[in-house]
Amino acid sequence: MAAKPTVLVVGSTGMLGAKIISALLDKGTTEVKAMVRSINDSDEENQKKIEAMKAQGATIVEGDLMKPETLLAICQGVDVVISSVGNNEVTVPGQKNLIDAAKQQGVKRFIPSDYSVDYRKLDYGDNDNLDKRKEVFEYLQQSGLEYTLILNGAFMDNVGTPYMPQFDFDNGNFQYWGDGETPLDFTTTDDTAKYVAEAVTDPGLANTALEVAGEVLTMKQLLAAYEEATGKKLQEKPLGSVEELKAWIEQKKPSAKSPVEYVPQQYEYTMVSSKAKLDNIQNSRYPNIKPLTVRQFLEKADI
């Protein structure tokens, strides 16, 4: 019997990375190596995740994306690298280091940390975080490594976080830019992780993207799904046109003390403008996955 392919997950203590490891181990068709920054992590939550990964059958390896010398040995014997690092100063240089090490060690496929709208269709400047994805993807293409992108729209799990400013619970409002009628893509983090576990060795996904969405809803439908799931009411509050949103961002950005003051709106822009809409949703590729709708997700979520 042929040996199972080895998959290296980087960012494995992260919110999504830990779920990707679980999904890979549940599927059971790959050997899983989980890279962590410290095997004896002083962070209690991270340590719990590391122990759980070990118990589930992952091999834990220590490395740091900003220390390229640690990455070469880790990539040895690896078939697929999955990156799930967050958005920060490490995103671009760290993933470039990882691509270099993967290339040198003959890794077969690289999955960068995307898990987003289709940033390939955006222009630089549309979204600070997605600019980083564009830069890493360009570097990956130039490397000649085989790649698979995972594009899932917005995580439904963002409801109640600053990354979905539409839900203004403090003021009882549901606020949005645009006409409220544009289709938008949403997927849960759990379902995204399951799709990653399928995509990882799917030969049909060489040098292309897997586009998936738990549900495609307009802003008005998103509000209705929330109200139906929770039995709570929010006041619908249109904020202006897509052009006015773009102008709002341009005006806000120079004076912002933190990107969180305008990056959520940049994400909203990429969605309500349809500029980064997924146009090749392929859920049916894996009929074994039954992704949650927004309503199903919100019925279970504690929001």
Ligand X SMILES: NC(=O)c1ccc[n+]([C@@H]2O[C@H](COP(=O)([O-])OP(=O)(O)OC[C@H]3O[C@@H](n4cnc5c(N)ncnc54)[C@H](OP(=O)(O)O)[C@@H]3O)[C@@H](O)[C@H]2O)c1
Q: Which parts of this chain interact with ligand X (CB under 6 A)?
A: 10-17, 37, 46, 64-66, 84-87, 90, 94, 113, 115-116, 154-155, 158
Q: What are phi and psi of 117, to 5 degrees?
A: -70, 175
- Residue 215: phi and psi, rounded to 5, are -160, 145
Closest distance between ligand X and the C-beta of residue 22, in Å?
13
Which of 127, 96, 129, 124 minimizes the C-alpha distance to 110?
Answer: 96
Nearer to ligand X, 53 or 223 (CB): 53
CB 15, min distance to ligand X, A: 4
Give per-residue burial for 158-196: e unless 16+ CB within 10 Å, then b.
Answer: bbeeebbbbbeeeeeebbbbbebebebbbbbbbbbbbbb
Tell me the C-alpha distance between 209 and 147, whole Å: 8
The residue number whose beta carbon is nearest to ligand X equals 14
Tokens of 112: 């960068």
Closest distance to ligand X from the beta carbon of 43 (Å): 7
Cβ closest to ligand X, residue 43 vs residue 244: 43
Which residue, 34 or 234, has its beta carbon nearer to ligand X? 34
Closest approach of Cβ 5 to ligand X, in Å? 22
Q: Is the dihedral of CA 10, 12, 13, 17 positive or negative?
A: positive
Q: Closer to ligand X at the Cβ: 35 or 234? A: 35
CA distance linking residue 152 with residue 213, whole number of Å: 5
**Shortest reach from residue 61's CB to ligand X, in Å:** 11
**Minimal distance, residue 243 CB to ligand X, in Å:** 24
* Least distance between ligand X and beta carbon 233 (Å): 25
- Nearer Cβ to ligand X (35/205): 35
* Of residues 12 and 148, the one with the C-beta less far from ligand X: 12
Minimum CB distance to ligand X smaller for 116 or for 282? 116
